[in-house]
Structure 1
């Protein structure tokens, strides 16, 4: 592991903030590193306000999109709401469908089949709209690169409004309106919204044009927060506000779907991380193992008995997903061991029978194990489909773009993408992708990095410090949980290996007479460092451990090493 100090903030900015808001130096440094440099910044950070959401009409195409939809309301024509089969797509469809129905629209919700139709806008979906007399499709979390498909729809007399957040290509589809803050000529102040966030901005605009109160639509923020967390977009700016208030709604268990999903958990207060690991996988499981429309139905359903049945079904799909994920990961790891070639800069594996619904999860697990840009391929109809995952600091989307001569279709983000290609091109692509990554990646990125904010002493970890740190939440990209280093630490003598094969560590650590309990997941192999009676350094985050109604401070260790 590389322990990397996040570049120290300017002393003058730290001092200015200390004086402005009356905090200690460490807290001021943590804030400045997150772009908080003034009293006004700090107030907005610590006291998120829905009044600070941007005007939706600052987004290119918003006037045209909202006018066109309201015109359809007068025509009494049905609308198709189309979204992808992942969490961002299904929450987007649930949000938009529910809202339009509340305005009296006849809405057909549509999620493409992961296996029959694949990612994004599909010809089958367009044909389905035509058969049902629909002449407007609102595409959410997809569409920005569907040039041909939207042209095909236009020839059939079907218009599109696109709400997307993925990077546009050189050409933009011929739609009534394209809402995507990542368009170069879009001057919207925040370009890191997820697909559901862009959908919410459209709902905001419609609500404004209708002269209705904004607070009526804040009931959808639980869906937006779920998408923000699951799609791993930065939790800064507008996303931070949406996530903050959305989490409050999730924790109120007001939406029957979330109440049913969270029935088994004893946690009173869920964090964004809990949403990512508890709600996200269950919503995703429907699209992975059966059909994404089931997740949308669950999120929209208000009848408690129906919700329970749907939630139980999705729980079963999630259990199947876990089994498939486990077995394919084991198979992939064995495949890599059996075909150990020269030192590669990429991990690319393929088996035709692997379940397409879980190859993205498997790619993430392989990336954690080998720390290389990773592609996991399976057979999908006549083609091969893959999920790509990257290591921190390397843009896998750009690498795919540079290898695109052998790719039929691809899309995604810097760290996660998907692609399809013809089987005859697999080896050529594999070779080209390795060549592109090898020639462009900084070799340091192939060693896992743990960035940390600052070094602290145990004595600085006071109740007041912890109280302030809790207000840094919700955590996520560009506002990660503060990570610290403490040096010359020892144990009280209590060191225990936990879990199967002693994979984890628990210990009471001491520094200058102050004792704090620590847990280290996956650090069992470092037990001898703690047992050696010599001082060691630790890198960690702070958390509160809740057990039998008692809350106590705990260090969550990320790594440890002998003190120099």
Structure 2
């Protein structure tokens, strides 16, 4: 594990911001690392306002999209809201359909089947629209590469509006409107929205046309915050504003479906981290194990009893997903151990019987274990489907693009992608993918890294600091939880490995006679010998509050020990 201390701002910049904001130099240091250099930027960061959101009409094609939807509603056309089967897709469909249905009844939803249709806009979905006299499809979190499908729809008299956030190809589909901030010809100021975020900009534009204000759209932000968290998009700019307000909705007055998920948990107040690890996997489990439409049904349900029933079903899908995920991960690890060479730059595994719904999670687990770009393949109909995951700093989408001669289709982001191919191309692709990664990756990226914000002594860690750091939330890429490093720490003598199989480490840390602070390190149980008998060690950690028997205390969340 590499420990990398982030570049330190200049002493002059720290001094200036500290004086301007009347905050400790440590806080000024952390803010400067997040690109905050003056009072106004700090105010925007600590006090996000809905007014900070950009005008939706700055997005290319927004006028066309609004005009076509208003035209459809005036003419009584049937509208189909179409989205992918993951969290971003299902929340987008719930968002758009429930907003349109407030004013207009002729709205249906469609989520493609992961197994029979695969990712993105499918011909089967277009046939469904044609069979049901639908003349407008609004596609969310997909569609920016659906050139053939949009042409096929056109032949059947069906128009498309595409709301996507994936990278477009060289040619765009012939849709009525394509809303995608990553379009090269789109001057929208914020490029990092998720699919549901782009969908929100469209309902913001529609609401303006109806004379509604932004406050009236706050109830939709629980969906947007869930998508932002699940899609791991940067927690900066508009995403920070949307997530900030969305979290308030989740904790105060969530929609019935999200409330039903939360009701099954023991937590009172949820953070973005809880959304990522608790709410999102349950919504995702529907599309992984059964069908994404189950998630949309839950997220749009208005009856409490029905929502509880749906949430219970989804909880069962999630339990099933968890056990399959563990089983396949073990099989995949064994396959790597038996077949791959020590000097390999990639992990590529395949089993035709693996469940397509969990290969993405398995790819994540393998890349965490071996720390290299990873592909997990399974059989999907008469083709192979794969999920790709990368390591920090390496663009797996570009690597797949360099191997595209072997692929039927692929799409995704820098760190996560999906693809399909013919089985006979597997070996040739595997060889080329290994070669592309070997030729282009910086070898240092194959060693996991912990980025440390700054080195401190334990005597600066106190409840006041914790109170200020809490206001840095919501956390995510671009604004990660501050991570500290302290050298020459000792345990008071009670360190122990805890939890299932003694995988975790619990200790009480002090430095040069400071009062001890409790510390927990998940999956650090094997480091017990490094801290026993009052040995001196260096520690990387973040801060958290630990609630036990009604008492809240400050705790170090240990990331690594040496």
**Within 5 Å, which residues of 2 pair with 1:36-115?**
36-115=36-115
**Deviation of the 1:41 alpha carbon:** 0.3
Q: 2:50·2:214 contact (CA, 8 Å) conserved in 1?
A: no
3-state SS of paired residue (1:96): helix
Q: Deviations over 1:278-336 (max 9, x none)?
A: 11011001000110001001000011111111111111111111111011001111111
Between the aligned partners of 2:212 and 2:28, the Cα distance in structure 1 is 41
Which region of structure 1 is more displaced relative to structure 2, 369-378 or 519-528? 519-528
Q: 1:73·1:105 contact (CA, 8 Å) conserved in 2?
A: no
**Deviation of the 1:533 alpha carbon:** 3.0
Q: 2:219·2:254 contact (CA, 8 Å) conserved in 1?
A: no
Q: Deviations over 1:398-419 (max 9, x none)?
A: 0000111111100000000000
> Is it true that 1:193 corresponds to 2:170 in the alignment?
no
Give the aligned partner of residue 405 of structure 1. 405
> Is it true that 1:431 corresponds to 2:431 in the alignment?
yes
Question: How many pairs does the alignment contain?
Answer: 561
Give the aligned partner of residue 534 of structure 1. 535
Q: 2:88·2:195 contact (CA, 8 Å) conserved in 1?
A: yes
Q: 2:491·2:535 contact (CA, 8 Å) conserved in 1?
A: no
Between the aligned partners of 1:213 and 1:521, the Cα distance in structure 2 is 45
Q: Deviations over 1:331-378 (max 9, x none)?
A: 111111122424200000000000000000000000111001000000
3-state SS of paired residue (2:57): helix
**Within 5 Å, which residues of 2 pair with 1:273-288?**
273-288=273-288
Q: 1:79·1:105 contact (CA, 8 Å) conserved in 2?
A: no
Q: 2:493·2:533 contact (CA, 8 Å) conserved in 1?
A: no
Between the aligned partners of 1:37 and 1:184, the Cα distance in structure 2 is 29
Between the aligned partners of 1:214 and 1:480, the Cα distance in structure 2 is 28
**Within 5 Å, which residues of 2 pair with 1:444-463?**
444-463=444-463
Q: 2:150·2:174 contact (CA, 8 Å) conserved in 1?
A: yes
Q: 2:218·2:249 contact (CA, 8 Å) conserved in 1?
A: no
**Deviation of the 1:108 alpha carbon:** 0.8
Give the aligned partner of residue 335 of structure 2. 335
**Deviation of the 1:105 alpha carbon:** 3.8
Between the aligned partners of 1:463 and 1:317, the Cα distance in structure 2 is 40
Give the aligned partner of residue 255 of structure 1. 255
Give the aligned partner of residue 301 of structure 1. 301
Give the aligned partner of residue 556 of structure 1. 557
3-state SS of paired residue (2:166): coil
Q: Deviations over 1:30-58 (max 9, x none)?
A: 00010111100000000010111110000
Which region of structure 1 is more displaced relative to structure 2, 516-525 or 220-229? 516-525
Q: Could you tell me the TM-score, scaled by structure 2's length?
A: 0.99
Q: 2:84·2:120 contact (CA, 8 Å) conserved in 1?
A: yes
Q: 1:541·1:557 contact (CA, 8 Å) conserved in 2?
A: yes
Q: Could you tell me the TM-score, scaled by structure 1's length?
A: 0.98
Unaligned ranges ≥5, structure 2: none
> Is it true that 1:483 corresponds to 2:483 in the alignment?
yes
> Is it true that 1:524 corresponds to 2:525 in the alignment?
yes
Q: 1:76·1:105 contact (CA, 8 Å) conserved in 2?
A: no
Between the aligned partners of 1:61 and 1:373, the Cα distance in structure 2 is 36
